[in-house]
């Protein structure tokens, strides 16, 4: 590619993280531009047909949109394949990337639930998906398909990152008894490309985002911070 790639981003977006992880796994230098999704600039509206991040700006000025085609493009154009060779395996991997997107929708339902009933129902729906994954993971690990890190791993690392923050104020039990999923989560969180995909203030930014939802999760966060304040006062 003639010149540097640019990843059009948002600090909290899990789909942006997929592209950032793949770029880093392939040692591709790239620039990053953050977009305020509450106040989208005109050039972004023009470049992004769905008005969403990520976008990948190529060296020739063209923009790619949608995380799945973006990471597939990177996989095809940059050395070090992150997709399996066998077409059926590849199709399965693509399906599990979509499965990760469905879990992200479930996480959205969880943090937007208005009351405890909706919250626990959304939590159970997310857990059911991880229960399914427990049977799909390579038993030897450390990643989805065993030793090689793949595009599927890049899709799940941002999913697990939500729980690193949720764990600070709620015991959801999402991964209880799901030993392979937990081991996968741990391996992904130790991966340098995963760590570098967000800024250091990600947990704080996500916490503020969750506090503002006016949801049951916001209420749990509020309870936790009151508890902490009380403990600090004693
Ligand atoms: N299917 C898209 C989903 C991307 C997406 O949902 N991006 C969100 C942020 S995480 C967004 O840009 N939302 C802005 C909006 O909908 O206005 C992909 O895989 O790239």
180-217 per-position pLDDT tens digit: 999 999 999 999 999 999 999 999 999 999 999 999 99
pLDDT digits (tens, 9 = 90+) for 119-137: 999 999 999 999 999 999 9
Distance CA 72, CA 81 (A): 10
Instruction: Give the count of beta carbons closer than 10 Å to the beta carbon of residue 96.
Output: 19
The architecture of the domain spanning 87-196 is: Up-down Bundle (1.20)
pLDDT digits (tens, 9 = 90+) for 53-99: 999 999 999 999 999 999 999 999 999 999 999 999 999 999 999 99
Domain ranges of the chain: 5-77, 87-196
Answer whether 52 contacts ligand 1 (Cβ < 6 A).
yes
Q: What is the CATH number of domain 5-77?
A: 3.40.30.10
Alpha-carbon torsion (207, 212, 218, 219), positive or negative: positive
Name which of 115, 120, 217 is nearest 173 in CA terms.
Answer: 120
- List the residue whose alpha carbon is closest to atom 2 of ligand 1: 66
Q: Which atom of ligand 1 is nearest to the CA of 12?
A: 10
Answer whether 80 contacts ligand 1 (Cβ < 6 A).
no
């Amino acid at each position: 590619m003639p010149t540097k790639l640019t990843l059009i981003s948002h600090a909290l977006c899990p789909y942006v993280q997929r592209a950032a992880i793949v770029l880093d796994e392939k040692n591709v230098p790239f620039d990053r531009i953050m977009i305020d999704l509450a106040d989208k600039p005109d050039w972004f509206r023009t470049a992004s047909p769905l008005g969403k991040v990520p976008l990948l700006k190529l060296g020739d000025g063209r923009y790619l949109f949608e995380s799945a085609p973006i990471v597939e493009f990177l996989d095809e154009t940059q050395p070090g394949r992150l997709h399996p060779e066998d077409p059926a395996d590849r199709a399965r991997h693509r399906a599990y990337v979509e499965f990760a997107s469905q879990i992200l929708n479930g996480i959205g339902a969880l943090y937007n639930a208005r009351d405890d009933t909706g919250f626990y129902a959304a939590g159970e729906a997310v857990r059911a998906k991880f229960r399914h994954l427990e049977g799909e993971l390579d038993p030897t690990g450390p990643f989805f398909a065993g030793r090689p890190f793949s595009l599927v791993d890049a899709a799940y690392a941002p999913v697990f990152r939500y729980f690193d923050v949720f764990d600070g104020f709620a015991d959801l039990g999402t991964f209880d008894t799901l030993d392979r999923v937990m081991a996968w989560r741990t391996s992904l969180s130790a991966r340098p490309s995963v760590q570098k995909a967000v800024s250091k203030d990600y947990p704080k930014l996500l916490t503020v985002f969750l506090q503002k939802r006016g949801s049951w999760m916001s209420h749990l966060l509020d309870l936790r911070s009151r508890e902490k304040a009380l403990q600090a006062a004693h």
